[in-house]
Amino acid sequence: MDLFQKCKNFTMAEDAKAAGIYPYFHALESRQDIEVIMEGKRRIMLGSNNYLGLTTNPMMTQAGIKAIEEYGTGCSGSRFLNGTLSLHLELEKELADFLGKEATITFSTGFQSNLGIISAIVGRGDYVICDRENHASIYDACRLSYGKMERYKHNDMTDLENILKKIPKDAGKLIVVDGVFSMGGDIANLPEIVKLAKKYNARTMVDDAHGLGVLGKGGRGTASHFGLEDEVDIYMGTFSKSLASLGGYMAAERYVIEYVKHNSRPFIFSASITPSSCAVALESLRYLRSHPEIVDRLSEISQYAREGYAKRGIKVRESSTPIIPIYTYDYTNTLVTAKLLFDNGVYVNPVLPPATPANECLLRTSYMASHTEQILDEAMDIIAETLKQREII
């Protein structure tokens, strides 16, 4: 069979376009903010990971401009060779200090961070144990490693322990979990995971892409949220969400960082973060550190949204994060509802298989510290009216 036959057979996108419900690749014509211009019309943005609202902060834009003027537009090489700037080292030092770890290392993207960390750490004869709702980058990282992957039911500690019991005692074991799950917005049961890791001689890694700037003291993440800063072996996170930039990081003990720096193929063979991305991440980190109240504001606005949905008869999952899913269950129903909301001026993210089980499709809404109560009321009224029209509520 021709290699491209699978491409010819793929009609899902064209079918959705023909039906007028294709939800992807909408073009932004303005900055990433609480309101955007998308395809010529004002939309209230409830689909961004810009949790602290810093992408439009003048301090961040000026930091990026200054870095380009000083260092140019790119690094033209990997960190391993010619691509290390003093800015990278400065960011890594301040990030390690903020997170309370000995050292950090930065990667070009968050996805690449998971690829680079797990594929370097987990080798032949080792095991990596994952929550079933972990991010796709973690699954791809497991495939890239030479270890064996095991999966436990979402946040099910009994299932996790049953898996750990079956793994040879002398095998290397890494438990990897999202701190905040990106679709459901719920938080990992980190206290129990840490207990089980100690019991079965395993190491722990938390993907805090959606936890940094959201949870913990001053936004330090999931481990801080539970008071487990010294118990989690590896933190991973991104700059593309709370820190308003692009890139990712790993934080751990220095000897672990040194090992990854010299053994991670995605790190060694990728160009480093651009000067502007690095400078913006650094400036955002400094802003977060000097304005911890912004994390409290994010929590307040997220709670306001939850209460607003409850008042309007919309059922959402209980949590304390700025990710609030609205379940629409059916594939077509989800796409039609998302399209109606888009036409009515509210942008949300439809989430479909394989990101969810087939009967648990949802509209993922997410919130920023810069949202106002007034604009959320406007958006929630539109959502409630649309869901009533669709007979979802």
- Burial class (CB within 10 angstroms; exposed 0-12, middle 13-18, buried 19+) of 102: middle
**Cβ atoms of 87 and 65 closer than 8 Å:** no
> If you compute the radius of gyration of the chain from its CA atoms, what whole number of angstroms results?
21
Residues in the chain: 393
**Cβ atoms of 187 and 225 closer than 8 Å:** yes
Per the annotation, the verdict on 148 as an active-site residue is no
Active-site entry in 241, 284, 339, 366? 241
CA distance 144 to 121: 11
CA distance 212 to 243: 9
Q: Is 78 helix (H, G, I), strand (E, B) or coil?
A: strand
**Cβ atoms of 49 and 365 closer than 8 Å:** no
Per the annotation, the verdict on 173 as an active-site residue is no
Order of strands, edge to edge, in the sheet holding 41-45? Answer: 35-38, 41-45, 346-347
Give Dmax (Cα) for the chain: 60
Active-site entry in 108, 182, 277, 284? 182
Q: Please, which residues have CB within 8 angstroms of residue 5's CB and are 6 or more apart in sequence? A: none
HSE-up of residue 228 (Cα within 13 Å, Cβ side): 25
Pair type for strands 248-252 and 323-329: unpaired
CA distance 10 to 262: 40
Sign of CA dihedral 143, 195, 159, 212: negative
Active-site entry in 101, 135, 210, 371? 210
- Burial class (CB within 10 angstroms; exposed 0-12, middle 13-18, buried 19+) of 165: exposed
Q: What is the torsion angle, in degrees rounded to the nearest 10, for the CA atoms of residue 129, residue 133, residue 139 and residue 140?
A: -160
Per-residue tokens: 228:
């487990």
Per the annotation, the verdict on 182 as an active-site residue is yes
Catalytic residues: 182, 210, 241
